[in-house]
């Protein structure tokens, strides 16, 4: 687990790595609820923390599991009563960057009303304001924006994927431009849009109101 921009110094042609987490350092079991950045002070969680809680999450909402030689983060079942289950990390000052992560939808059952999604988020300001690239229950990959707690779909494309299939999601933000790519085995699907918010900085993370699994993720600065 690293958070070291110097990783890219060996090769000037490589992008600057702002953050990388292979999840190997995470302790197994449920993530502690921490609606502040206090978890960032603990090296074992690599700065990851849960910024919002809900009464329906009686047994937690994210957990760390071991599969083979690797560790992964899973949601603890679906979240039928709340659509904003988040896990975030990073720096409020991050501006133009690329987030890459492995995401695996496990089930779309019992999702929240109007929900049924899992994916990655960028430009996180607070639980009511961020941009996300998600896989939805309707078989589409969507670029969405949450502003003042209201979701808006900026772009959407059909995507062939199966439950239990791991996909690489890449979300790039530069100025008011956002570009997303979902890379299943059948090939990459692209979505893009101009964001509506004037905010151009923020953290990264995961979002899911369904049963889903998340793997290693990396944040790279853009030139």
* pTM attached to this predicted model: 0.91
Structure confidence at residue 147 (pLDDT): 93
% of the chain residues with pLDDT over 90: 76
169 alpha-carbon distance from chain centroid: 9
pLDDT per position as a tens digit, 184-199:
766 899 999 999 888 8
User: What average pLDDT is seen over the chain?
Assistant: 89
Mean pLDDT of 111-122: 93
Residue 2 has pLDDT above 50, yes or no: no
Whole-number pLDDT of residue 93? 95
Class of domain 5-221 (CATH, top level): mainly beta
Residue 190 is classified by DSSP as: E
Q: Which of 2-16, 39-53, 103-117, 179-193 has the lowest mean pLDDT?
A: 2-16
Q: Kindly list the domain boundaries of the chain, sorted by start residue.
A: 5-221
Q: What is the CA radius of gyration of the chain?
A: 16
Query: What is the average pLDDT across 154-162?
Result: 94
DSSP for 62-106 reads EEEEEETTEEEEEESS--TT-S--EEEES-TT--SEEEEEEEEEE
């Amino acid at each position: 687990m690293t958070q070291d921009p110097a990783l890219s110094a060996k090769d000037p042609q490589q992008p600057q790595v702002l953050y990388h987490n292979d999840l190997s350092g995470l302790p197994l079991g449920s993530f502690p609820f921490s609606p502040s950045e206090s978890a960032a002070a603990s090296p074992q969680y690599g700065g990851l923390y849960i910024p919002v809680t809900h009464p329906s999450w009686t047994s937690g909402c994210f957990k760390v599991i071991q599969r083979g030689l690797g560790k992964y983060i899973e949601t603890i079942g679906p979240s039928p009563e709340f659509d904003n289950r988040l896990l975030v990390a990073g720096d409020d000052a991050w501006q133009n960057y690329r987030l890459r992560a492995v995401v695996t939808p496990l089930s779309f059952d019992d999702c929240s009303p109007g929900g049924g999604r899992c994916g990655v988020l960028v430009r996180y300001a607070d639980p009511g304001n961020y941009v996300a690239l998600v896989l939805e229950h309707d078989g589409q990959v969507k670029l969405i924006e949450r502003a003042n707690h209201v979701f808006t779909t900026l772009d959407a494309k059909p995507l062939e994927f199966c439950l239990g299939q791991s996909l690489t999601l890449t979300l790039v933000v530069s100025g008011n431009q956002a570009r997303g790519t979902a890379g299943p085995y059948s090939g990459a699907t692209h979505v893009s849009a101009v964001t509506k918010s004037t905010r151009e900085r923020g953290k990264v993370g995961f979002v899911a109101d369904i049963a889903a699994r998340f793997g290693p993720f990396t944040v790279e600065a853009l030139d």
